[in-house]
Structure 1
Amino acid sequence: MFGFFKHKEKEVKKDVTEPSGATGLLPLNSQDFVMPIEGDIIPITEVEDPVFSEKMMGDGFAIVPTKGLVVSPVDGVIMNVFPTKHAIGIKSKQGHEILIHVGLETVNLKGEGFTALVKEGDQVSKGTELLTFDLDYIKKSASSTVTPVIFTNAANVTVKKQGAVKQGDNGIVSVQ
């Protein structure tokens, strides 16, 4: 799963405004990011998978979903839709790479219960529907519904709220 953004980087650079600055990334202010899923925010360190909880892929947070819909949290481009449809990679117009990974061990479901609504290279805006998933099926068939939202190339992720959030809420996350 590591490096999943790398293979499309040259192709994507044509479609996304390249940021400038020392880190190559522009800040992602709390108004630039909306909640991709309705549910309860938990710290990434509480995810029961060390790849996420130990921040091996990057910093972020997780959501325990209450509805089976993922929307784009940013304006940007779809970089990757995993063949099993359980995860989507997005590059924001500020240059941040975001992985939304629905559930834990959901790769083993081989796409069952998931419907991708976008494809690689699609331009998206905040709130664009990306993916639907059968929440009941995932509860029965996977180890967890916890959905990590990871910034794979960000240095400083600030989450200003824990607990219940509605899809589309903003003012909760900022990234440097």
Structure 2
Amino acid sequence: MFQLFHHQSTAKVNHQIYAPVDGEVIDLIKVKDPVFSQHTLGQGFAVLPSDGIIFAPVSGQVTLVASTRHAIYLRMANGLDVLLHLGLNTADLHGRPFKIHVTDGQQVKGGQRIASMNRLQIKAAGMSDTVVVVITNSAERLAQLQVNYGPIFGGHRLGWATVKD
């Protein structure tokens, strides 16, 4: 009986979404990049950051840290693939504004500090420091994504995602 309750609470935790950074959570449609705003890569949300400390948006395994350090891919235990994208068009900065504290294959907990970005360096290059979180296999696996928009502290829960049966 207790295992049943433990299993349910673990499953619920596996669906939680966390703020990747302090700031203002906005709808993906408001992001000034059509790849994200038109949901080309999947469903998600963005944060207009007020800080540069980056937290894991979900619990799961790091599947890839981009060589340019502007993107981290994670896979949740429920099979959802999540892209954490730091800034817009920031691959062109060749990793300079980013410090990544995780490696491929590492398990992380939602809300865990995993990176930092130098927002001033990004803005000085004429780029946006908007942080984007996208579920890249939304079409195949995502049943529902619930996100609370507005101000948030990085690492705090801001919503949840459920998978298709």
2:155 maps to amino acid: G
> Which residue number corresponds to residue 107 of structure 1?
91
Q: 1:78 aligns with which of 30, 37, 62?
A: 62
> Which residue number corresponds to residue 118 of structure 2?
134
Matches within 5 A, 1:60-99: 60-99=44-83
> Relative to 1, partners in 2 of residues 1:113 and 1:89: Cα closer, same or farther, differing over 3 Å?
same
More helix per residue: 2
2:111 maps to amino acid: G
Residue 163 (1) aligns with residue 147 (2): no
Contact preservation (8 Å) 2:14, 2:76: no
Give the match's secondary structure for 1:63. strand
CA distances 1:121-152 after superposition (whole Å, capped 9, x unpaired): 11111222211111111122142111110001
Contact preservation (8 Å) 2:14, 2:59: no
Deviation, structure 1 residue 31 = 6.4
Give the match's secondary structure for 1:172. strand
Give the match's secondary structure for 1:77. strand
**Aligned alpha-carbon RMSD (Å):** 2.0
CA distances 1:58-110 after superposition (whole Å, capped 9, x unpaired): 01011111111111122210011001101100001111111010111101100
| Mean Cα deviation higher: 148-157 or 43-52 | 148-157
TM-score (norm 1): 0.77
> Relative to 1, partners in 2 of residues 1:107 and 1:140: Cα closer, same or farther, differing over 3 Å?
same
Query: Unpaired segments of 5 or more residues in structure 1?
Result: 1-26
> Which residue number corresponds to residue 174 of structure 1?
161
Give the match's secondary structure for 1:138. helix
> Relative to 1, partners in 2 of residues 1:60 and 1:161: Cα closer, same or farther, differing over 3 Å?
same
More strand per residue: 2
TM-score (norm 2): 0.82
